[in-house]
């Protein structure tokens, strides 16, 4: 099935496309599953399990820190109001990690909360109205543009779903932009529950029209194939150019006729939710 690859990986925030692209470009990560020589340590004493009172205290502390970030507080408040079970599960997961000794990272917490919401309810965002759907992609484009002017390599990491520590560092200094992504996704899910719009799938003619628009922006055949079908270019596209064409394809999508754009948006969000 053809789908706008960059729009899909941005919306999904998944790592599969990112890993495949990095392997194809020779940036092969270390393989932690290979055998390593190690000194055998004596067995450690089993950890002390926190009591229910301890967990409640940890949970309350985490919740207070999340609500203390003015950019993130509206998202968590809206999540609790609209989907209280999802909100409770998110906090329980954060508390369990903290109880295991993992330091809290507020910016990672927002990303994790949104990822959990997408997995449980993201399919409904595909049924949202045109304004809510468009807002999702506009918020992604705003972050992509900010990353492009900051660090092209980090821009590509985001483009291909890499949730890395440098991205969380970026989030700390751009919380309003990052919060807008999560808020737009939550708003679209709520809107989809209310409107339940069923859109037709985009046709080959739709994608042909998109290809022509991308070519008019100066993209090569290899770059268009990378955007629409996820094909690896040979020679590989460098980070600065890949970041630029990622920005361009979202601009082109926004310029397409409304019906065509909404069909592609809807399919993209649906595939993201099912992945």
Phi-psi region for residue 196, left (φ > 0), alpha (ψ -120 to 50) or beta? left
Average pLDDT score over residue span 72-87: 97
Q: How far apart are CA 10 and CA 8, in angstroms?
A: 5
Structure tokens belonging to residue 198: 């069923």
Q: Please tell me the predicted confidence (pLDDT) of residue 124.
A: 95
Average pLDDT score over residue span 19-44: 35
Instruction: Name which of 3-7, 196-200, 268-272 the model is least confident about.
Output: 3-7
Is 54 a residue whose pLDDT tops 90?
Answer: no
Q: Please tell me the predicted confidence (pLDDT) of residue 214.
A: 92
Q: What are phi and psi of 34, to 5 degrees?
A: -70, 145
Q: Please tell me the predicted confidence (pLDDT) of residue 37.
A: 34
Q: What percent of the chain has pLDDT over 90?
A: 51
* Higher-pLDDT residue of 81, 48: 81
The pTM of the full predicted model, rounded to 2 decimals, is 0.81
Is 182 a residue whose pLDDT tops 70?
Answer: yes
Per DSSP, the residues of 29-78 read PP-TTS----PPPPPPPPPPPPPHHHHHHHHHHHHHHHHTSTTTHHHHHH
Q: Please tell me the predicted confidence (pLDDT) of residue 235.
A: 87
Average pLDDT score over residue span 186-206: 94
Residue where the block lists tokens 């045109």: 130
Residue where the block lists tokens 């660090």: 151
Q: How far apart are CA 185 and CA 44, in angstroms?
A: 44
143, 185 Cβ separation under 8 angstroms = no
* Higher-pLDDT residue of 113, 47: 113
Q: Please tell me the predicted confidence (pLDDT) of residue 242.
A: 87
Q: What pLDDT, in 10s, does the model give residues 161-178?
A: 666 788 888 999 999 999
Q: Please tell me the predicted confidence (pLDDT) of residue 156.
A: 83
Q: What pLDDT, in 10s, does the model give residues 236-271?
A: 888 899 889 889 988 999 999 999 999 999 988 888
Q: Please tell me the predicted confidence (pLDDT) of residue 236.
A: 86
Average pLDDT score over residue span 69-87: 97
């Amino acid at each position: 099935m053809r789908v706008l690859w960059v729009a899909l990986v941005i919306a999904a925030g998944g790592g599969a496309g990112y890993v495949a692209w990095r392997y194809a470009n020779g940036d092969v990560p270390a393989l932690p599953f290979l055998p390593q020589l190690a000194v055998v340590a004596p067995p450690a004493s089993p950890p002390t399990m926190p009591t229910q009172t301890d967990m409640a205290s940890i949970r309350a502390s985490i919740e207070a820190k999340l609500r203390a970030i003015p950019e993130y507080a509206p998202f968590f408040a809206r999540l609790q109001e609209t989907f209280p079970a999802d909100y409770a599960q998110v906090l329980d997961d954060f508390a369990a990690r903290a109880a295991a000794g993992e330091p809290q990272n507020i910016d990672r917490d927002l990303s994790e909360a949104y990822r959990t919401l997408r997995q449980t309810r993201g399919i409904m965002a595909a049924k949202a109205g045109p304004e809510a759907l468009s807002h999702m992609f506009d918020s992604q484009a705003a972050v992509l543009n900010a990353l492009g002017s900051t660090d092209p390599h980090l821009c590509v990491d985001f483009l291909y779903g890499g949730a890395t520590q440098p991205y969380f560092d970026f989030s700390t200094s751009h919380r309003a932009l990052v919060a807008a992504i999560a808020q737009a996704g939550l708003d679209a899910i709520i809107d989809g529950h209310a409107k339940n719009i069923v859109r037709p799938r985009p046709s080959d003619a739709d994608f042909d029209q998109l290809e022509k628009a991308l070519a008019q922006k100066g993209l090569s055949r290899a770059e268009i194939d990378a955007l629409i079908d996820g094909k690896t270019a040979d020679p590989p596209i460098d980070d600065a150019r890949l970041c630029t064409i990622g920005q361009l394809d979202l601009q082109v999508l926004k310029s397409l006729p409304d019906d065509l754009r909404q069909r592609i948006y809807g399919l993209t969000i649906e595939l993201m939710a099912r992945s």
